Copies of this chain bind each other. A is one copy, B any other.
Amino acid sequence: MELTVYLAGQIHDNWREEVEKKAKERNLPLVFVGPQTDHERSDNIGEDILGKQPGNVYKDDAASDINNFRTQVLMQKSDIVIALFGDKYKQWNTAMDASTAIALNRPTIIIRHESLIHPLKELSNKANVTVETIDQALDVVGYIFE
């Protein structure tokens, strides 16, 4: 039984590669999907496809159309969502993806640094499991196959 995992969260470091590498080392039968991780491409995708927009609000909205399209397609193909909250930025996309996943009954794991416990407490409470490290998240997913 192969499971598809959507990796929601920040696109500012290579945490997804770390997840994939470690999952491989554990021989977990997982396929990973997620958002566009090239930040510039993600911000520009609206103008890249639709052409110059009349200002930043419109550029952002055009990009969001396409980023949300991608997320919707891939999350509907996923069995599990792992959402990682880092220590920088607003990360409202991560909160949005995790909340959407939970509302649609996708089993969801949140990874967050200890310092985020308080501001994330209600969302963390609604997720299935909250952990602090990638290894712990893979421990949880790996537990399915024991």
Contacts and interface: CB of A to CB of B under 8 A. Distances in A.
Contact of A125 (B65, B70, B73, B130): B65
A128 B79 contact: no
Contact of A68 (B33, B58, B66, B125): B125
Range, interface on chain A:
35 or more
A65 B119 contact: no
Nearest to A43: B118
B73 A96 contact: no
Interface of A: 1, 3-4, 31, 33, 36, 38, 41, 45, 48-50, 54-58, 60-61, 63-74, 76-77, 79-80, 89-93, 95-100, 102-105, 107, 109, 116-126, 128-131, 136, 139-140, 143-144, 146
